[in-house]
Every structure is written in structure tokens, then in C-alpha cells.
A and B are shown apart, each in its own frame.
Chain A
């Protein structure tokens, strides 16, 4: 994986994320996966559906 791009300005976290949304269905899935991983959607669902503790 080449992660060597050197932007001389901040491309913006939100900016990088939102453009993925308009990248077709596959892009929207990547966007959803990001939210799932980073915003405790997984933990929230587990809590709502199974009553499990969301505390780590």
C-alpha cells in the first residue's frame, strides 16, 4: 500500500470522507463502513438489540 502522498495543505478529514459518498454504491458502502467502525454504531446496535454494555 502506497500511502506516500505528500499534500502541502490539509486535505481535510471530513472532505476526504464526504467525497467517498458520491463515489457510487461501493463508495457509499466504504463510507458506511467507516461510520460503523468509528462511531460506535456497532456498539449502539449491540446495546439496543441485545442490551449489552457499550462500555469497553
Chain B
């Protein structure tokens, strides 16, 4: 995949200038594989793509196509404009003669990765790519890869970012992105739909996704009768591991044997129908049906408190950590342009995603990005030199963090010292609304039920003191239940 993390509002501190081939240019470090196109950053977070002579020639043909224009208009393809080289110069970039064409892309509000998406998001991203590919093939173009990392999100709308992946279909050649598609889309979806196993650690553990041989080894005989498994996993794995086949020039043979565009189109259509039928039938999880027992007064108080914090900070970007099904993410989206809604409970986030999809076009659906993530096991820096895929803090800076009824999970549940948690929140750089949950609260007791209370440092006083030390003034609002307190702290 090239430029898969291309179009991001990445914090300035991590946009590492890669000196060498192109002096002075600030390349996206994750965009290095494709020799025909690289992503660069300019001033004020502008995102550019430099194209080689070959890449530029392909782009000029693609620009005229109907599928391209349709994809741009619908937002299925990231907003892209050709620009002149002197615009790059005014943006503080100096590019070498290797690059002959330049594009500018719209910024993606917050870069996310497939190992942070819900099942529905991965499925919709797959369908979006396959639909684009079908339209491209009908006009004589193809995608040279098929990785899930080529999709990003604007709210809950998937958008294809790696525009340099489109090229003219080389006559007689099957879809070269098929294996990547299986590894980063199809097998993870199979895993969740057929085995009810979360795909996230598999994708996070190996950026290339799940190898056909590995997925095949996970399958039982019964699984071979599930839709798509026999061909895309069993046969695929065996053909892929066949030394005899590996020694032949398959591309040349298939081309000589008369592989036509229609057959490739059939393959892609068949994959699309297969993915459309995949369903994850998880009925419930620990937190997906969680209905906190607030009194009406407390609920109103909590909403007012968060609203007041939003009004005071006027944030562009909010992170709602432990968002559950997104009640307060929606509240934040009334003011903030970008809301990252994170929760470790896959089903709860899936519910949020599906509800936002149903109201596509609404303010919340355009602004909220639901992601599966655990504060105490967050996405790390990964890949080549640890810069291809980035940790949360390296992808953006929240102006306001909502940590509502999260602290007892992190401190009492996961054992992170309270002071460390406050320190981590402060390092994110924004203001914080924290709902402190006392040890006597029924939810805290539930967390402590099997392990007992062994944390003498966990108290409201310690929390307030920690926030004061790291932030400054702290506003407090106790809830009437007597076991919860809302705290608002702004950086000095």
C-alpha cells in the first residue's frame, strides 16, 4: 500500500522530514513503497502527492474517467486536485526532478487503522473498495492493490485515499490486490462472522494481515462449508503454498490463456456479494447494553456539565474515551468538528457506528469517528521504523478529552496508578472532563468484585490534587448519587 496514511491531520511533531532523495520535502514516512507516488506534507497540514512520470501519465487518464468523477462527487474517493509544482514551492517543499506531477488531497480529520474499526466498518470499507474497483474495471482501469489501509473515514463515510493505486488494467492480468484484500479484509471478516473471534489483535499483530495459510489452519472441516471459505481460504492457501505453482509465471500463463476483463469483473463482483452476506451475530457484550443508573437529575447535571465544558473550550477535536454507545460523543459533535469516539467494547462501538450509518448525513454522522480501542492497550507505533502506523497521540491532539466513568476501569480494573493516568491525560495536551467514580459506587464495586480493594491511592481527593498539579484549576460538581463527581480541568 502506498500512502495509506497519507491524508491526515497529523500533528506537526511526527511529520518527520525524510531527507535524502528529495531534499527539503516532508514525506509521510509510511508512504514509501510505491515508486510511482509519495505523499508529502506542506504548511498548515496541506497534503500533497508527488507522482512519477509513469504515475502522472496514469493519473491523467484516470482523471477523465467517469468512475473517478463519480467517486469524487460522492466522497468515496478523497478530494483530489492537480496542482502546479510552484504551489509546492510556496508551501515550503522542494521536490526533485523525479516527480513530475503533483496532486493535493483533502485532509482526513483523524487517521484510523483497520485494527481499530468495528466489523461493520471493515465490511463497509471492503464493499466501498470493491464497488470502486468494479466501476474502474468497467472502464478499463484497475486497482493495483487491495489493502484495508487504503480506506480512511470522514465521520462514518469510508473514503478511498490511495489514488495512485488506480491504473489502466494490464490486459490479461488478474487483480493483483486480491491477496491483500483477503489478508486485510476477507479473513478478518470471516474470523469475526464465522468464529466470533475479534480480528483486531490479528491485524494489529501483522500489518500485512492474516496469511492464507494461517487462516486456513484456523479453519475446521465444518468451516469449509461456510460461504467463501473453501475457495478463498482452503484452495487459496494450498495453491499459494504450492512450490510447483510458485515456479510458474502465472501472470503470463493466464494472459496467454485468454483471461478477460469480464472474468476479473466477475471475480470482484463475486467477492462483493460474498462480503455483503457476511454478518456478525454478536447479541450482547459486557457494556453494549449498559444503562447507567443515573437519576434524571444526575443525568441532566452531567449533560449540562459536559456542555459547559464544550462551550468553554470550543474544541475542534474531542476524544471521548470509553464512549460506550456514544451518548456524549453526540453531545460533543454538536460543537466539535471532529469527535473520536473510543471504546474497548467492540459491540458497543458497532452499535454506535450502525446508528450513525442509519442517519448518514446528520451532523453526528459527519463528525463522529467510532473506534475500538483500549486506553491501557492502545495502538502503538508500528511498521517500518515504527512510523508506518502511528499511536493515537501521534495522530492528533485533542482539545478536549471526555473520560466519563472511565477512571475506575483504568485504575481499579487495569491497575494503572491514578497519578499515571492523570499524567497520561495531561500529556494528550487538551482539557479534560473526568467523571470520578468512588470505590463505593456499584460499578466500581463490580470492577473490584473478584479482586478486592488494594489501591490506597484511589480517592477523589487524590484525583483532584493530581489534576490541579498537572492542569491547574479544577471545577468540581458532585452528582446527587453521592459516589460520582464530575471534574473539569484545563491546561495552564
- Spell out A's residues near B (CB within 8 Å): 1-9, 11-24, 26-27, 30, 33-34, 37-39
A9 CA / B238 CA spacing, docked (Å): 20
Q: Are B170 and A14 in contact (CB under 8 A)?
A: no
Most buried by B among A2, A9, A16: A16
Q: Are A30 and B271 in contact (CB under 8 A)?
A: no
Q: Is B45 an interface residue when CB atoms closer than 8 A count as contact?
A: no
A20 CA / B170 CA spacing, docked (Å): 15
Contact (A16, B254) CB under 8 Å given A6-B35, A8-B33, A21-B231? yes
Q: Are B178 and A30 in contact (CB under 8 A)?
A: no
Q: Is B420 an interface residue when CB atoms closer than 8 A count as contact?
A: no
Interface residues in B, total, Cβ within 8 A: 54
The 8 closest A-B pairs by CB, nearest first: A14-B239, A14-B240, A23-B263, A15-B179, A11-B176, A5-B170, A27-B263, A24-B266
Closest to A36 in B: B257
Query: Which residue of B178, B241, B242, B246 contacts A19 across the interface (Cβ within 8 Å)?
Result: B178
| B54: chain A residues within 8 A (beta carbon) | 6
Closest to A27 in B: B263
A16 CA / B244 CA spacing, docked (Å): 14
Q: Are A7 and B144 in contact (CB under 8 A)?
A: yes
Contact (A9, B245) CB under 8 Å given A15-B182, A30-B257? no
Q: Is B378 an interface residue when CB atoms closer than 8 A count as contact?
A: no
**Nearest CB of chain B from residue A48's CB, rounded to whole Å:** 20
Q: Are A15 and B173 in contact (CB under 8 A)?
A: no
Q: Is B34 an interface residue when CB atoms closer than 8 A count as contact?
A: yes
Query: Which residue of B245, B259, B267 contacts A22 across the interface (Cβ within 8 Å)?
Result: B267
Query: Which residue of A11, A17, A26 contacts B177 across the interface (Cβ within 8 Å)?
Result: A11
Q: Are A3 and B266 in contact (CB under 8 A)?
A: no
Contact (A2, B263) CB under 8 Å given A14-B238, A14-B246, A17-B239? no
Q: Are A30 and B239 in contact (CB under 8 A)?
A: no
Q: Are B167 and A5 in contact (CB under 8 A)?
A: yes
Q: Is B235 an interface residue when CB atoms closer than 8 A count as contact?
A: yes
A8 CA / B208 CA spacing, docked (Å): 13
| B180: chain A residues within 8 A (beta carbon) | 9
Contact (A11, B262) CB under 8 Å given A3-B170, A5-B170? no
User: A12-B179, A14-B246, A33-B257 given. 16 additional CB < 8 A pairs?
Assistant: A8-B34, A8-B145, A12-B240, A13-B248, A14-B236, A14-B242, A15-B240, A16-B173, A16-B178, A18-B235, A18-B239, A18-B240, A22-B266, A24-B266, A27-B267, A30-B257
A33 CA / B253 CA spacing, docked (Å): 9
Q: Are B35 and A8 in contact (CB under 8 A)?
A: yes
Q: Are B176 and A20 in contact (CB under 8 A)?
A: no
Query: Which residue of B240, B259, B270, B271 contacts A13 across the interface (Cβ within 8 Å)?
Result: B240
Q: Is B307 an interface residue when CB atoms closer than 8 A count as contact?
A: no
A33 CA / B246 CA spacing, docked (Å): 17
**Nearest CB of chain B from residue A43's CB, rounded to whole Å:** 14
Q: Are A19 and B174 in contact (CB under 8 A)?
A: yes
| B36: chain A residues within 8 A (beta carbon) | 6
Question: Interface readout for B284-318 with A: 1 if CB under 8 Å, 0 if not?
Answer: 00000000000000000000000000000000000
Q: Are B263 and A18 in contact (CB under 8 A)?
A: no
| A20: chain B residues within 8 A (beta carbon) | 174, 254, 259, 263, 267
Question: Interface readout for B239-275 with A: 1 if CB under 8 Å, 0 if not?
Answer: 1111011101011111101111011101100110000
Q: Are B250 and A16 in contact (CB under 8 A)?
A: yes
Q: Are B2 and A13 in contact (CB under 8 A)?
A: no
A20 CA / B260 CA spacing, docked (Å): 10
Q: List 5 A-B contacts (CB under 8 A).
A: A2-B171, A12-B240, A18-B239, A22-B232, A30-B258
Q: Are A18 and B170 in contact (CB under 8 A)?
A: no
Query: Which residue of A2, A22, A39 contacts B270 across the interface (Cβ within 8 Å)?
Result: A22
Q: Is B172 an interface residue when CB atoms closer than 8 A count as contact?
A: yes
Most buried by A among B145, B172, B179, B236: B179
A1 CA / B257 CA spacing, docked (Å): 13
**Nearest CB of chain B from residue A17's CB, rounded to whole Å:** 5
Q: Are B267 and A1 in contact (CB under 8 A)?
A: no
Q: Is B212 an interface residue when CB atoms closer than 8 A count as contact?
A: yes
Q: Is B204 an interface residue when CB atoms closer than 8 A count as contact?
A: no
Q: Is B168 an interface residue when CB atoms closer than 8 A count as contact?
A: yes
A37 CA / B248 CA spacing, docked (Å): 11
A34 CA / B256 CA spacing, docked (Å): 10
Q: Are B252 and A3 in contact (CB under 8 A)?
A: yes
| B260: chain A residues within 8 A (beta carbon) | 26
Q: Is B175 an interface residue when CB atoms closer than 8 A count as contact?
A: yes
